[in-house]
Structure 1
Amino acid sequence: MRNFILLFLLFGSIFASDFITKNEYAKMLYSNPRGIGCDKCHGKKGEGALIAKFKHFDKKSNKIVDGELKAPRINNLDFWKFSEALKRPKDVMPSYFLTDEETLLLYEYVKNFNDNKDKK
């Protein structure tokens, strides 16, 4: 009986389907790709979000003024622009070192936010 169970588990693992779906993997990438998730700055649905408020000295007016650091909306980008932002981050955008497949999955996941909003 023990041999039958071991044989069953062996063949079951060989013919098993993926552990998680591509959509589940993309959701995981969006919420925590490499330590900090896209959602922390770009919002739950890629709509963009306020990261921080601060005060700084404006040389033109010679006064201390309020400033804001905002992350842009990403659910409306074309694939090339989305991919380039991940490959060559600027300003405070961190580097994630995603594979091409992960970038595509993440892009499709973010674009899906717009599709779901249009259906409501």
Structure 2
Amino acid sequence: MRIAKFAILFLLLNISFAKDIINNSFITEYEYGAMLYENPRGIGCNKCHDRGDKSVVIAKYKDKKNETKTLKAPPINKVSYEKFVDVLTTKRGSSNIMPSYFLTDDEIKSIYFYIKNLKK
């Protein structure tokens, strides 16, 4: 009887310890989000959005009327999560400059967490 109680206690402790290992990851959500923000699928969000807190000029060009146009990436740190997901998951035509990254839900959440908690 005493051995059975000890075995049950030992088993419960091991399950608890294993659960802690599973819930703790090698890097934090912030670090994972930073990694994805800088290079999710070949080109990072930071290339166009910089730190995400202001509009960034991507290019200036002349249109057919020889008028100077400016292509800007908008700030993204104040965007709602719903809008953020919508922009990242909507298929785009050739007229939209935002690339498709085919991110998983977890990757999108991590990037959003990163830009919302970006350290100054």
Name the TM-score, length of structure 2 as normaliser: 0.71
TM-score normalised by the chain length of structure 1: 0.71
Question: Aligned runs of 1:21-100 on 2, under 5 Å?
Answer: 21-58=28-65, 64-88=66-90, 90=92, 91-100=96-105
Match of 1:69, SS state, is strand
* Partner SS, residue 25 of structure 2: coil
Q: Which has the higher contact order (CA 8 A, sep 6+)?
A: 2
Quote the sequence identity (%): 47
CA drift at 1:82: 0.4
Whole-angstrom CA distance in 2 between matches of 1:31 and 1:48: 17
Gapped runs of 5+ residues in structure 2?
1-20
Runs of 4+ in 1 over 6 A off after TM superposition: none
SS in 1 for 2:42: coil
Deviation digits for residues 41-75 of structure 1 (CA, Å, limit 9, x no counterpart)? 011244231111111123xxxxx111111111111
For residues 12-65 of structure 1, the C-alpha deviation after alignment (integer angstroms, 9 at most, x for no partner) is xxx58522221111000111100000010011244231111111123xxxxx11
Greater fraction strand = 1
How many residues align structurally?
Answer: 96
One-letter identity of the residue aligned with 1:99: T
